[in-house]
Amino acid sequence: MIEKALKGSTGYWVWMLFLLSIMGAGGMFYAQQFNYGLGITGMSRDVTWGVYISQFTFLVGVAAGGLMLVLPYYLHNYKAFGRIVILGEFMAIAAIAMCLMFIIADLGQPMRALNVMLHPTPNSMLFWDMIVLNGYLVLNVLCGWVVLQSEYKGVKYPKWIKPFIYLSIPWAISIHTVTAFLYCGLPGRHFWLTAILAPRFLASAFAAGPALLMIIAMILKRTTKFDIGREAQDKLVTIIGYAALINFFFLGCEFFVAYYSQMPGHMHTLDYLFWGLGHGDQVYNNLVPFMRASVVMGLAGIALIFVSRAKQSDGLLVLSCLLIFVAFWIDKGLGLVLGGFVPNMLDQVTEYYPSVQELGITAAIWATGFFILSILYKVAISVKLEKEA
Amino acid sequence: MDSKRRNFLKVAGLTAIAGIGAPSAFNMLLKGEALASSGGGHGEAAAPSGTRWGMVVDVKKFAENPELANQCISACHTVHNVPDFGNAKDEIKWLWVEKYPNAFPEHSQDKRPDYVQELPIMVLCNHCEKPPCVRACPTKATYKKKDGIVAMDYHRCIGCRFCMAACPYGARSFNWRDPRGKDENGNPFIKAENPKFPTRMRGVVEKCNFCTERLAIGQLPACVEAAAQSKALVFGDLNDPHSEVSQVLKANFTIQRKPSAGTHPSLFYII
């Protein structure tokens, strides 16, 4: 089945070579980081996690987003998702692969990564995150591949896979819950210390993951004969739209608690992210344009996605999904992690700017993810089109 | 009917087992900390048993003698081979001075007198009774010893910096680059290496260890020794009511950093 990835159009090969060149450049940057240390990044004593961990956090959401296809199809027998459920599972594989790469890129001593397994520590949320992420990777590889292989052979998937599929449903919830627990269980970081963090993570995940899938599906509709179908498309719009709305509701709750209670610790980071934090005689606001853009894009995306369905416009649909995806990428892939470190534990402010090497490595990991995704989607779509021809 | 009853019994049984198991599982997660957290406002410390090292910082004495803080810092950083990179981004520090509003951001006070604003507050690892860093560490590279000291194994640390995110006091530093290296002019980051204490490698976290290596051979912590004449730092066993530190705590009003975090520091400040 994998041989399907070795035959493709010129466009396919140009795309893959493009990704490989980014991966190569990033590899060289990583060699620099490996030899010099993490000091090559923009991280500091005050902002100890940067774009690596924030990308990781966002991508856990993209992986969990696959649930929005698996659950209706397998649990509610929603047939319209039959053609795309495999896309959700394969997207989860690529996203988790990126998550693991971002974690490794962020470690000061990557050669010791296995210490997490050699010295299991159940009181650490990172230990549990390691378990749920790797478990989710295995589950998706297993379920996705076995089901697709059966389709390739023209038979129904074997019965023994069903329990694994059912297991993958709560497991998807667990990966983003445990990832939220990394943050919301820490005393002293008020911005993260909120019980709503895990629910909010899930809401944004269930919008951003399917939004990315929709964008890819629309590209495939243009470039191949693969069409996910009008019904599935419309249903996904409902899912993305409502999940995005719930995320903004949660964000509103955060604003209310902080600004109505007037608790300084709760307001500081929101001030920093959305208005600029006055501190001494300086105002710190390097993330304000991003965060404001995130809110505007997100709300505009929600409005447009429902309009796109009413007008049955694919162009508008892609635009709205892009808006929602980028909005949540900024929200979680920038603001959430970086904002938590401002102000620091001693009520001082250090702003963070990623270095060139750091951005190069980040781009390379994204490219690797898309490389994996392209191979998997090439196989899946070739099989689907072959069976339907 | 029968199968329904059997199903009900199954569910009931499983629920009961889960109910019995849940509290102990939760205790495991918190490493028995849950037991200590009953009692007053932000929880009371556990009943004393064995030695628990602690320290009182007499801020007034540091204010009287502006040189004293630097002597303590220098003693600590020299004996522990703490590198000096000369910039804030890479900075590693075990013991340093903060202003009052930074050391005690929650102790807001309108109309605070100017002299308080400028008091030199020595800050270092609090060696918390309930350390969030130990809870966060995924490899037990940072752990709490029986004598209350929060210690580190630099050889096990994977450099994930979860402990740095978890510490409410900003007490931890990371080796962003090789501390054993030299700057552009060929000057080593560790000015004079002390062969009795290990240097660290790149990519691991470090912090004050309450001089556990000196306590083991009957010496006082380096900073306490440096401040011995003025008695600005009083070190001893908090669980021994007759120790000097306990006497000082009995006789003075002291405060701790961020009591709302529920960490129960082993460090006390006389302002």
For residues A238-246, give the mean pLDDT: 96
Distance CA A338, CA A279 (A): 17
Yes or no, beta carbons of B138 and A127 under 8 Å apart: yes
Is the model more confident about B65 or about A154?
B65
| Nearest Cα to Cα of residue A140 among A82, A69, A229 | A69
Contacts of A264 in chain B (CB under 8 A): 108
Q: For an interface test with B, give the residue of A119, A351, A357 to mutate (most B CBs within 10 A).
A: A119
pLDDT band at B161 (very low <50, low <70, confident <90, very high): very high
For chain B, say whether A134 makes contact (Cβ under 8 Å): no
Query: What integer pLDDT is reported at residue A223 of this predicted model?
Result: 86
Contacts of A46 in chain B (CB under 8 A): 170
Find out whether B234 and B225 touch, Cβ atoms under 8 Å.
no
Find out whether B256 and B270 touch, Cβ atoms under 8 Å.
no
H or E stretch covering B117: helix B114-117
Find out whether A290 and A330 touch, Cβ atoms under 8 Å.
yes
Find out whether A368 and A98 touch, Cβ atoms under 8 Å.
yes
In A21-80, the residues whose Cβ lies within 8 Å of chain B are: 36-39, 43-46, 48-49
pLDDT band at A33 (very low <50, low <70, confident <90, very high): very high
Distance CA A61, CA A243 (A): 12
Lowest-confidence pick of A70-79, A264-273, B23-32: B23-32
Report pLDDT digits (tens) over A347-368.
Answer: 999 999 999 999 999 999 999 9
Q: For an interface test with B, give the residue of A115, A132, A269, A277 to mutate (most B CBs within 10 A).
A: A115
Question: What tokens does A74 get?
Answer: 């397998």
Query: What integer pLDDT is reported at residue A64 of this predicted model?
Result: 93
Yes or no, beta carbons of A125 and B167 under 8 Å apart: no
Length of chain A: 389
Helical packing angle, A314-330 and A288-311, nearest 10°: 150
Contacts of A115 in chain B (CB under 8 A): 138-139, 141, 156, 158
Query: What integer pLDDT is reported at residue B3 of this predicted model?
Result: 62
Report pLDDT digits (tens) over B254-269.
Answer: 999 999 999 999 999 9
Contacts of B162 in chain A (CB under 8 A): 124, 126, 182
Distance CA A353, CA A50 (A): 9
For chain A, say whether B89 makes contact (Cβ under 8 Å): yes
Contacts of B261 in chain A (CB under 8 A): 187-188
Find out whether A129 and A120 touch, Cβ atoms under 8 Å.
no
Instruction: Report the residue from B29, B123, B138 with minimal CB separation from A116.
Output: B138
Report pLDDT digits (tens) over A61-104.
Answer: 999 998 999 999 999 989 899 888 999 999 999 999 999 999 99
Helical packing angle, A288-311 and A230-261, nearest 10°: 150
Yes or no, beta carbons of A123 and B160 under 8 Å apart: no
Distance CA B162, CA B140 (A): 12
Query: What integer pLDDT is reported at residue B114 of this predicted model?
Result: 87
Instruction: Report the residue from B166, B204, B262 with minimal CB separation from A109.
Output: B204
Query: What integer pLDDT is reported at residue B39 of this predicted model?
Result: 43
Yes or no, beta carbons of B156 and A119 under 8 Å apart: yes
Question: What tokens does B6 get?
Answer: 């059997």
Distance CA B159, CA B205 (A): 6
For residues A40-61, give the mean pLDDT: 96
Query: What integer pLDDT is reported at residue A1 of this predicted model?
Result: 79
Contacts of A187 in chain B (CB under 8 A): 132, 166, 168, 261-263
Distance CA A171, CA B119 (A): 52
One-letter amino acid for residue B266 of the chain: S
Contacts of A346 in chain B (CB under 8 A): 98, 102-103, 105, 123, 169-170
Contacts of B105 in chain A (CB under 8 A): 346-347
Nearest chain B CA: its distance from A182 CA (Å):
8
The CA–CA distances, whole Å, from A144 to A91, A236, A378, B35, B73 equal 10, 20, 14, 45, 58
Report pLDDT digits (tens) over B176-209.
Answer: 999 999 998 999 999 999 999 999 999 999 999 9
Q: What is the CA radius of gyration of chain B?
A: 22
The yes-or-no verdict on residue A389 having pLDDT over 80 is: no
In A199-258, the residues whose Cβ lies within 8 Å of chain B are: none
For residues A289-318, give the mean pLDDT: 95
For residues B240-250, give the mean pLDDT: 95
For residues A189-206, give the mean pLDDT: 95
Query: What integer pLDDT is reported at residue B81 of this predicted model?
Result: 96
Query: What integer pLDDT is reported at residue B1 of this predicted model?
Result: 46
In B206-265, the residues whose Cβ lies within 8 Å of chain A are: 258, 261-263
Query: What integer pLDDT is reported at residue A15 of this predicted model?
Result: 95
Instruction: Report the residue from A115, A127, A130 with minimal CB separation from B156.
Output: A115
Question: What tokens does B228 get?
Answer: 């011995």
Query: What integer pLDDT is reported at residue B187 of this predicted model?
Result: 92
H or E stretch covering A277: strand A277-279
For chain A, say whether B147 makes contact (Cβ under 8 Å): no
Query: What integer pLDDT is reported at residue B18 of this predicted model?
Result: 61
The yes-or-no verdict on residue B134 having pLDDT over 50 is: yes
**Whole-structure pTM value:** 0.91
Find out whether B94 and B80 touch, Cβ atoms under 8 Å.
yes
The yes-or-no verdict on residue B123 having pLDDT over 50 is: yes
- Percent of chain B at pLDDT above 70? 82
- Percent of chain A at pLDDT above 90? 84
For residues A35-50, give the mean pLDDT: 95
Nearest chain B CA: its distance from A174 CA (Å):
17
For chain A, say whether B88 makes contact (Cβ under 8 Å): yes
Distance CA B118, CA B100 (A): 7
Is the model more confident about B263 or about B24?
B263
Distance CA A233, CA A211 (A): 11
Yes or no, beta carbons of B158 and A348 under 8 Å apart: no
Report pLDDT digits (tens) over B28-74.
Answer: 565 545 444 444 455 555 566 789 999 999 999 999 999 999 999 99
Query: What integer pLDDT is reported at residue B127 of this predicted model?
Result: 97
Contacts of B262 in chain A (CB under 8 A): 187
Query: What integer pLDDT is reported at residue B107 of this predicted model?
Result: 84
Query: What integer pLDDT is reported at residue B216 of this predicted model?
Result: 95
For chain A, say whether B98 makes contact (Cβ under 8 Å): yes
Query: What integer pLDDT is reported at residue B108 of this predicted model?
Result: 74
- Percent of chain B at pLDDT above 90? 75
Nearest chain B CA: its distance from A262 CA (Å):
14
Question: What tokens does B122 get?
Answer: 């020595």
- Average pLDDT over chain B, rounded to whole? 88
The yes-or-no verdict on residue B5 having pLDDT over 90 is: no
In B15-74, the residues whose Cβ lies within 8 Å of chain A are: 28-31
The yes-or-no verdict on residue B8 having pLDDT over 80 is: no
Query: What integer pLDDT is reported at residue B2 of this predicted model?
Result: 59
Name the DSSP letter for residue B98. E
Distance CA B271, CA B268 (A): 10
Instruction: Report the residue from A123, A130, A347 with minimal CB separation from B30.
Output: A123
Contacts of B173 in chain A (CB under 8 A): 45
Q: Which ipTM was obtained for this model?
A: 0.91
Instruction: Report the residue from A122, A344, A345 with minimal CB separation from B29.
Output: A122
The yes-or-no verdict on residue A35 having pLDDT over 60 is: yes
For residues B84-98, give the mean pLDDT: 95
For residues A119-137, give the mean pLDDT: 95
For chain B, say whether A389 makes contact (Cβ under 8 Å): no
Q: How many CB atoms are located within 10 Å of the residue B229 CB?
A: 9
